[in-house]
Amino acid sequence: MAGDHLNEDLQKNLAAFLNSSPDCILVCDAQSLRYLYVNQATCDMTGYSRDELLAMTAPDLTGQSPEVIQESYRQARLAGERGYTDEPRLIVNKGNSRRGWWEGHFGYQVIDGRDVVVIVSREVTRRVLAEQSATRSRQIYAALSAANEAMIRLSSPDEVFQAVCDAAIDSGGMTTAVLLMPKPGSDLMEVKAMAGYGRDVMGSTIISINPDRAEGTGLNGTAFRTQRPCVTDDFLKDQRTAHWHRMVRDRTKLRSAASVPIIREGRSVGTMYLCSRERRAFDEEIIGLLVRLTDNIAFALKAFEREQVRREAEERAHYLATHCSLTGLPNRNLLSDLLEQAIASVNRTGHKPALMFVDLDNFKQINDTWGHDTGDRVLEQMAGRLRCVLREHDVLARLGGDEFVVLVQNIDRHEYAQRVAEKLLAAAQDPVQVDGQPLVVTLSIGVSLYPHHGENHRALMKSADLAMYEAKEKGKNTWALSGDDKQWDSASEIMR
């Protein structure tokens, strides 16, 4: 009798202990998958009464298929006395008012000839969320590293924008990554780069930075104006994103989103917009990493701008060193280089260059009479006229003062040099108009031919210069070949 009484007390105490446990404890028939016992914690967690639970099967309660549950039970049987612990699962209660992660431990027993599974399920929501956050942090760290590496090796802002979006998807675990900037002269934002899911949605989405427009009240517009990150943990229930709910609901599985401003020198220049299929994907640590990422984007933009300024200054310095500041024509330095290149290519192309020195007759008188400003405008107009009668690949240069030089890139017959010289003379026939004042300008042209009048650029320049003075001695407004005019015949023979 004492033994029976002790057994009854033990059973009562055991039942009380099981009911007081904070863990869910269930006993399930391994064959029928019906529950044989549930403790009070199971009722509290699920929202079902004990009678309701005992009338249910494991698939009814968990939403899993019988095959999945039987596989868990099989694993428990194979594990023996130590049992089997399954991966945490997201469980929702009866009224959908509570959801959390629960980890189940399964032990297989035979009781009174019946195969049963004892399930002890413990809530691990905090642990799972911490693990998920740590995983996301590692992913964003990886994305930050990949983006920084891209910024070092890429050579344009657009390349960097796309690399950052790609890194957010490939390394950061995001569903969608978009970089947005305002359109010039508009309050609308445009996509500068994008990676991941939802291109069709973004292609038809209007986003503004204007708070007076519905399209400007969302995460991106707010982040841009406030210069602070904007986060939503439930996109489809957030009133800030209400304007886009209908568009997103049927076309994406968006759960959470964040917009982080890109700030340069105290002002917003764009936003980095990220989306995830997970809720609570953007905690403080993740946002802190994303702020670092956008800061690095701003730094890269500044570096590109400095490099662009440096390159433009370098190009400008090179241009000024090789071109006439008044007419924009090549100067003596560049002409010498181009002439040397033309001579060097003769053996390869068979085309021989000709050089023509062009001097404006009586230009000093125009300067003295009308002033240097008028003289400069005459030079500008004459440069335009001479350039118009030349072929695109011929070169017109200005040496200084009223001296121009024409490099005719290929003279297969000497008659062509003559035609070019006559075209240049014809270009100056009409008076130059400056402030309504007609000014008569004529040309004296000296011609030298390669290789008859020189085999290098210095010799050709000297020969053409001397020929130009011969043209002046002939009465100006004409051209002359280097040396005696009779040399046309011998030059012709050389070129054939």
Q: Please give the full DSSP string across 396-445, using - where no structure is assigned.
A: EEEEETTEEEEEES--SSHHHHHHHHHHHHHHTSSPEEETTEEE---EEE
pLDDT at 4 over 70: no
Residue range 217-236, pLDDT digits in tens: 999 999 999 999 999 988 88
pLDDT band at 166 (very low <50, low <70, confident <90, very high): confident
pLDDT band at 310 (very low <50, low <70, confident <90, very high): confident
Tokens encoding 142: 């990886």
Which of these, 487, 483, 337, lies nearest to 407 by C-alpha position?
Answer: 337
Domains 129-307 and 332-495 share a fold: no
Between 147 and 388, whose confidence is greater? 388
Count of beta carbons in the 10 Å neighbourhood of residue 30: 19
Predicted confidence at residue 169, as pLDDT, reads: 83
Residue range 64-94, pLDDT digits in tens: 899 999 999 999 999 988 999 988 888 888 8
Residues that are catalytic? 402
pTM above 0.85, yes or no: no
- Name the phi and psi angles at 454, rounded to 5: 160, 145
pLDDT band at 492 (very low <50, low <70, confident <90, very high): very low
Separation CA 193–CA 203 (nearest Å): 12
Looking at 3.40.50.300, 3.20.20.300, 3.90.226.10, 3.30.70.270, the CATH number of the domain 332-495 comes to 3.30.70.270
Predicted confidence at residue 2, as pLDDT, reads: 43
Residue range 151-163: mean pLDDT, rounded: 81
pLDDT at 489 over 60: no
Between 494 and 317, whose confidence is greater? 317
Q: Which DSSP string do the residues of 440-451 spell out, in sequence order?
A: ---EEEEEEETT
pLDDT at 260 over 90: yes
Domain 129-307, what fold?
Beta-Lactamase (3.30.450)
Predicted confidence at residue 245, as pLDDT, reads: 82
Q: Which DSSP string do the residues of 38-72 spell out, in sequence order?
A: E-HHHHHHH---HHHHHTSBHHHHH---HHHHHHH
Residue range 274-291: mean pLDDT, rounded: 84
Which amino acid type is present at position 30? Answer: A
Between 138 and 469, whose confidence is greater? 469
Angle at 184 between CA 183 and CA 190, to 5 degrees: 10
pLDDT at 9 over 70: no
Q: Where are the domains of the chain?
A: 19-123, 129-307, 332-495
Looking at 3.30.450.20, 3.40.50.1820, 3.40.190.10, 1.10.10.10, the CATH number of the domain 19-123 comes to 3.30.450.20
Predicted confidence at residue 484, as pLDDT, reads: 52
